[in-house]
Amino acid sequence: MVVVVVVVVETVVDVGSAVVGGSVVGVVDGGSSAPFATITHTKTAANASSPNTNSREAEKLRGARVCGSIAPHFARSDSEDDAIENARVDHNGSQAVGFTPMTTHQTATGVPFLRTPEDRFSDLPDFAYEPHYVEVDGLRMAYVDEGPGTASTILLPHGEPTWGYLYRRIIPTLTEAGHRVIVPDLIGFGRSDKPTQRSAYTYTGHVAWMSEFLDHFDEVETWDAFCQDWGGLITLRLAAEQPERFAHLVLGNTALPYGESLGPGFDFWLELSQTLSPFDCGRLISNAVTLSPAEQAAYNAPFPDEDYMACVREFPCLVPITPEHGSVAENSAARNVLSEWTKPVLLLWGRSDPVLGHLDSDFLELIPGTRDQPHQFFDPGSHFIQDDVGEPLAAAMVSWLATVGGNHG
């Protein structure tokens, strides 16, 4: 059972109830079909962008209109973000009440960002992997690099609101089969740097960051990739724009929208993502999969407080589900490329996902490379399929890649 609090209110009492003028507003027993669950309401922004190009600026303006219509009372300007930053210390230079001590950095182009302290990542259960780092667009991007590489190199990008920790049940099986796995933390997540203003993030910007990230691996001739949630929205765009980079794709609970609704599950999640307070990633994910307290803490590790969560808040607003969103044209172009994609594509899909679980048919109809492949559909199998059925999912990848030639460099 998933308990979902449906709230667009001003005052929160506790988990499971919210009060407006003394009356309780909406606790819904969502059952197995409900999306995520949880708490309620916060401050935060609603503008979307990245600062460098005209297309990204246009995406910012469209995203601001779309998210502003969802949660206008959360919108705050960059100047307000700066005021909050200045409020970290009082006039005597002492720590302001209610703020966690932190250091705000800035890129050479003036983008302010935070870097999660490393001690937040100590003693992570089942994730004792050494982090590596590269620079993309003036920001530090973290990743895990494991496995001998005698088989293929597999890109494992995560989605919202997770980080590379999501792949802890997948990495061992893939590496034991000889694959090298590269598990990046997207900018704004995990150990990667986190621009503090929501205007730093756009869909186009994330695709560019991933492209620059892959540029650091000159030794990798072609990649295999597992695409889930935003890991798919980003990687499928990149595969369509740079098809020579990718040999085999595995899709799991992702989407490639181009200006149309993804359905009521995503619409609910979109609104909820702007109103949760606090935004407890571990608790949120534990409503879909069974997690220990230590695992929940691991999902929360990248985010000491709300100031680190600009991308977590912004990501749902960037999904192009209306004609006014940024990246509608780019996703339409990507879908045109994928409609002629004949390289092998496998679906490993969770059918119990109320947000994206119904979208497997979209890819089966769109991509010729899915024809006659041994797709597997896990039921139960949640949105966070890597955590829910990680071991059998990884075994299915290994078996399939062995049959389609997943032993390239």
Instruction: Please report, as a single letter, which amino acid is at residue 404.
Output: V
Question: Rounded to an integer, what is the distance from CA 57 to the centroid of its chain?
Answer: 22
Measured between alpha carbons, how far is 195 from 139 in angstroms, rounded to an integer? 9
Task: Outline where DSSP puts E strands in 11-107.
Answer: 11-14, 17-20, 23-24, 27-29, 104-106
Please indicate whether residue 383 is annotated as part of the active site: yes
Instruction: Please report, as a single letter, which amino acid is at residue 34.
Output: A
Measured between alpha carbons, how far is 187 from 330 in angstroms, rounded to an integer? 21
Helix (H) or strand (E) holding 223: strand 223-227
Q: Which of 211, 232, 233 is CA-nearest to residue 328?
A: 233
Please indicate whether residue 29 is annotated as part of the active site: no
Measured between alpha carbons, how far is 284 from 296 in angstroms, rounded to an integer? 9
340-366 burial, b if ≥16 CB within 10 A, otherwise e?
ebeebbbbbbbebbbbbbebbebbbeb
User: Hey, what are 252's tokens?
Assistant: 């799991």
Please indicate whether residue 216 is annotated as part of the active site: no
Cis bond before residue 380 (omega within 30° of 0): yes
Catalytic residue among 81, 193, 224, 229: 229
Measured between alpha carbons, how far is 165 from 121 in angstroms, rounded to an integer? 10
User: Hey, what are 393's tokens?
Assistant: 């999912």
Distance (Å) of CA 330 to CA 133, 163, 247, 257: 29, 25, 21, 10
User: Hey, what are 122's tokens?
Assistant: 């100590």
Catalytic residue among 185, 206, 383, 388: 383
Contacting residues for 234 by C-beta, under 8 A, at least 6 apart: 157, 186, 203, 206, 207, 210
Angle (nearest 5°) at CA 334 between 354 and 55: 100
Catalytic residue among 81, 193, 224, 353: 353
Which ranges of 50-202 does DSSP label H, i.e. alpha helix? Answer: 54-70, 78-86, 171-176
Angle (nearest 5°) at CA 38 between 203 and 320: 20
Instruction: Name the residues annotated as catalytic.
Output: 229, 353, 383
